């Protein structure tokens, strides 16, 4: 005789289908959150390259990059602010003591003058978090020599 909470199907084991539905819903919800814009899985170096067009007026990346109006951005992450050889930084940048991480760069590029008062960077900042996430993914491709990793 079958248990009243379960339905019997030929060849099928007894199971609680309500519990399985809840598990499936949880997995789908988690996947949905992970794939939201700005999440680690949604990073797009290609989209970041399009964002970098705004930065290109002052900064360069790649094997032929050099300092221009702003310092080159090769190997940016893990580097200390104001440390690119041959670039004339303000005292504010040299003394900021920031190690560039995703978080510190995100805060800086949102509002450079708020993060480093006295910087000569006149850029107003990027307000869209997804654009910043993609820009980070793009810049992380370049090691200190400018080679794509």
| pLDDT, tens digit, 9 for 90 and up, residues 77-121 | 999 999 999 999 999 999 999 999 999 999 999 999 999 999 999
pLDDT of residue 88: 97
Q: Is the pTM of this model over 0.85?
A: no
Identify the residue whose tokens are 């598990």.
23
Give dist(CA 80, CA 77) in Å, integer: 8
Q: Which domain holds residue 53?
A: 43-139
**CATH number of 100's domain:** 1.10.760.10
31 falls within a domain: no
27 falls within a domain: no
Residue-wise pLDDT tens digits, 119-148: 999 999 999 999 999 999 999 999 999 999
94 falls within a domain: yes
16 falls within a domain: no
63 falls within a domain: yes
119 falls within a domain: yes
What average pLDDT does this structure show over 70-81?
98
Domain count along the chain: 1
Dihedral, 88, 91, 94, 98 alpha carbons, nearest 10: -130
pLDDT of residue 5: 57
101 falls within a domain: yes
Residue-wise pLDDT tens digits, 4-62: 555 555 555 555 555 555 455 444 444 444 444 444 456 899 999 999 999 999 999 99
26 falls within a domain: no
pLDDT of residue 16: 52
């Amino acid at each position: 005789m079958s248990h009243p909470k379960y339905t019997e199907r030929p060849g099928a084991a007894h199971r609680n289908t309500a519990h399985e539905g809840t598990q499936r819903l949880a997995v789908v919800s988690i996947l949905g959150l992970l794939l939201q814009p700005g999440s680690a899985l949604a990073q797009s170096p290609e989209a970041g390259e399009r964002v970098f067009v705004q930065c290109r007026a002052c900064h360069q990346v790649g094997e032929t990059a050099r300092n221009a109006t702003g310092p080159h951005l090769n190997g940016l992450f893990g580097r200390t602010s104001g440390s690119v050889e041959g670039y004339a930084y303000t005292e504010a940048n040299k003394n900021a003591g920031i190690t560039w991480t995703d978080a510190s760069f995100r805060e800086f590029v949102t509002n450079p003058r708020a993060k480093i008062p006295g910087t000569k960077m006149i850029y107003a900042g990027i307000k869209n978090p997804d654009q910043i996430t993609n820009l980070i993914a793009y810049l992380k491709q370049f090691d200190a020599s400018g080679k794509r990793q």
